[in-house]
Amino acid sequence: EPEVTQTPSHQVTQMGQEVILRCVPISNHLYFYWYRQILGQKVEFLVSFYNNEISEKSEIFDDQFSVERPDGSNFTLKIRSTKLEDSAMYFCASRKEGIGEKLFFGSGTQLSVL
Amino acid sequence: KNEVEQSPQNLTAQEGEFITINCSYSVGISALHWLQQHPGGGIVSLFMLSSGKKKHGRLIATINIQEKHSSLHITASHPRDSAVYICTIIQGAQKLVFGQGTRLTINP
């Protein structure tokens, strides 16, 4: 079965540093998402992306966050100036066109901000 | 109040038991997903529902749109079914709202 791949699997950074988390969605998928899960808490929606622009974002997704699809295959999440509370597992997901289509998740990037 | 509520939060059962996990939501949705998260953290989509019932192997998922309720059932449960099961609603086409998850432990 096709897979969504995320890199790196673990990222450790100092507070205030910029990080870029990378995702390669499945090739014929058109909708892309970022979620995060802080340890011990529920999964939280961050942002959805369609047709090369953000279609929905949560209140968590403030000016410190941005997403890009720089080369037609990668889908990146940038955090400009990381805070301690950004430490979480970040998941990317994608799906085909159509509300009824199944979501496919990457295995996540564990971000630790020190 | 959470838009998506799951019950129970934790469930421990013996191998072979029939398992039911419930999900109630309070807003209009276009669809609902049941997800499985294993101890390593990876998330897998089990079902997408917009009406009725779906079955895959020992897993059955139902949804009642009028009552804003969905259930996930596992027949003949097995220790490998131990995981966190997450109910997720889709608002509009793009926004997903997650339940807090149900931690299922199946003992041999």
Residue A78 — left, alpha, or beta (φ > 0 → left; ψ -120 to 50 → alpha)?
A: beta
B76 in contact with A at a CB cutoff of 8 Å?
no
pLDDT in tens, A9-23: 999 999 999 999 999
Which of B56, B96, B100, B102 is most worth mutating to test chain A (most A CB atoms within 10 A of its CB)?
A: B96
Listed residue (A62, A12, A47, A107) closest to B43, CA to CA: A107
- Residue B96: its pLDDT value, please? 86
Max CA pair span of chain A: 40
Q: What is the mean pLDDT of residues B85-106?
A: 90
Contact A43 B98 (CB under 8 A): yes
- Residue A79: its pLDDT value, please? 97
Q: Greater confidence, A63 or B39? A: A63
* Closest residue in B to A88 (Cα–Cα): B41
The pair phi, psi for residue B85, each rounded to 5°, is -105, 130
- Residue B1: its pLDDT value, please? 62
- Residue A92: its pLDDT value, please? 96
pLDDT in tens, B3-23: 899 999 999 999 999 999 999
Average pLDDT, chain B: 93
Identify the band that residue B55 occupies on the pLDDT scale cut at 50, 70 and 90: very high
Give yes or no for a contact between A44 and A61, defined as CB atoms under 8 angstroms apart. no
- Residue A71: its pLDDT value, please? 83
- Say whether pLDDT at A86 is over 70: yes
Residue A85, classed as helix, strand or coil, is helix
* Closest residue in A to B6 (Cα–Cα): A42
Neighbours of B104 (CB within 10 A): 21
Measure A46 CA to nearest chain B CA, in Å.
Answer: 9
Candidate from B37, B44, B93 with C-beta closest to A99:
B93
- Say whether pLDDT at B93 is over 70: no
- Say whether pLDDT at A70 is over 70: yes
- Residue B40: its pLDDT value, please? 77
Tell me which H or E stretch contains A94.
strand A88-95
Q: What is the mean pLDDT of residues B48-61?
A: 94
- Residue A111: its pLDDT value, please? 97
Q: What is the mean pLDDT of residues B41-53?
A: 89
Contact B94 A48 (CB under 8 A): yes
B31 in contact with A at a CB cutoff of 8 Å?
yes
Omega of the bond leading into B39 within 30 degrees of 0 (cis): no
pLDDT in tens, A40-65: 899 999 999 988 889 999 999 999 99
* Closest residue in A to B101 (Cα–Cα): A42
